[in-house]
């Protein structure tokens, strides 16, 4: 590992460089690093985990040489993107992608990964690296969909608010992002009746529940601190599945901020079904906020 873990402006932004596309993650991370005035650090993991005897393995020296070439390509792209504004460093490490990024990410400002949209079959047999990393870090993890580029979509940060009373960290992260970007803030809350009760309640009941949910979100926003006083947030309450509502909202966002479950066991991905669903389908970068306060976790 390289020795430089922070710059004069605090922890670096770490980017995971895998075997697939990485241009979108680099574009997002480079813009964030320049905006924050912090270093950009690229990491590629060479996984030498033994496989079954009937699998053909490249010699470790060949895998490391390929990895070195891969990260060199990514560093070239990153250097062009930051154009000398911030330092770009890199590491080639041995280990699994999730394990390597969790280790490096503990001292990071943010970890950024590129996320490919998978087919339904692939979703069943694959867990995303982003989900695995986010399940075990207390810093923000951002998944950037392949093919994403900054465009003319609305200059707004969208935050998914699940249970307002337990959404302080999502709200703080979203407020900081909106404030730092000079963007608007839209808070999205969804609710859904059990299927057996759909269509059995009057429109007035539905309006009353929506208004009550809106009031709860506004109260949570007022509770989180100083930034909320300077931010005019739009509150949107929709009836529907949370993942579907948030994916739809991502079409108009430059960043979508959602929460993740606090893991209770040390292995596996425990970001929660809504977060997994949003990662699969969102069309803008998704920031997975830390599930509870941590002093070094967020430095907008």
Q: Which CATH number belongs to the domain containing residue 214 in this structure?
A: 3.40.50.620
- Are 184 and 83 in a shared domain? no
- For residues 98 and 173, membership in a common domain is answered with no
Neighbours of 4 (CB within 10 A): 11
pLDDT tens, residue by residue, 241-297: 899 999 999 999 999 999 986 544 444 446 778 888 898 889 999 999 876 544 333
Q: Extract the tokens encoding 240.
A: 């529907």
Q: Which residues of the chain have pLDDT under 70?
A: 1-9, 48-61, 117-127, 152-154, 193-202, 205, 225-231, 261-270, 291-300
Residue 206, domain member (yes or no): yes
User: Distance (Å, rounded) from C-alpha 164 to C-alpha 70?
Assistant: 43
Q: How many domains does the chain have?
A: 2
- The pairing of beta strand 10-11 with beta strand 6-7: antiparallel
Residue 264 vs residues 135, 183, 291: alpha-carbon distances, Å: 10, 35, 12
The residue range of the domain holding 193 is 156-259+276-282
Residue 190 lies in a domain: yes
CA distance 44 to 16: 6
Q: Are residues 107 and 192 in the same domain?
A: no
Judge if 71 and 171 occupy the same domain.
no
- Whether 177 is in a domain gets the answer yes
CA dist 82 and 85 (Å) reads 5
With a threshold of 0.75, does the pTM exceed it?
yes
In a domain, 133, yes or no: no
Q: For residues 170 and 159, is the Cβ–Cβ distance under 8 A?
A: yes
Within a domain: residue 174? yes
């Amino acid at each position: 590992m390289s020795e430089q873990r922070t710059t004069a402006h605090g922890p670096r932004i770490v980017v995971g460089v895998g075997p697939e596309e990485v241009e979108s993650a680099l574009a997002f991370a480079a813009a964030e690093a320049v905006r924050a005035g912090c270093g950009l650090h690229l990491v590629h993991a060479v996984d030498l985990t033994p496989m079954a005897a009937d699998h053909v393995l490249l010699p470790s020296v060949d895998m490391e040489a390929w990895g070195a070439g891969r990260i060199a390509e990514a560093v070239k792209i990153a250097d062009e993107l930051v154009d000398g504004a911030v330092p770009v460093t890199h590491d080639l490490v041995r280990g699994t992608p999730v394990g390597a990024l969790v280790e490096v990410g503990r001292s990071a400002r943010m970890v950024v990964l590129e996320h490919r949209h998978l087919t339904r079959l692939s979703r069943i047999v694959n867990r995303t690296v982003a989900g695995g990393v986010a399940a075990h870090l207390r810093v923000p993890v951002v998944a950037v969909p392949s093919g994403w580029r900054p465009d003319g979509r609305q200059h707004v940060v969208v935050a998914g608010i699940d249970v307002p009373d337990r959404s302080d960290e999502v709200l703080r992260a979203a407020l900081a992002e909106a404030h730092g970007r000079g963007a608007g803030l839209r808070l999205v809350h969804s609710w859904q009746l059990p299927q057996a009760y759909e269509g059995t309640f009057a429109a007035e009941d539905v309006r009353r529940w929506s208004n009550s949910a809106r009031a709860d979100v506004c109260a949570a926003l007022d509770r989180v601190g100083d930034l909320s006083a300077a931010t005019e947030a739009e509150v949107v309450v929709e009836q529907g599945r949370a993942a579907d509502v948030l994916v739809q909202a991502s079409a108009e966002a430059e960043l979508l901020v959602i929460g993740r479950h606090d893991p209770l066991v040390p292995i596996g991905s425990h970001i929660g079904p809504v977060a997994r669903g949003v990662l699969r389908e969102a069309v803008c970068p998704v920031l997975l906020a830390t599930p509870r306060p941590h002093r070094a976790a967020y430095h907008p």
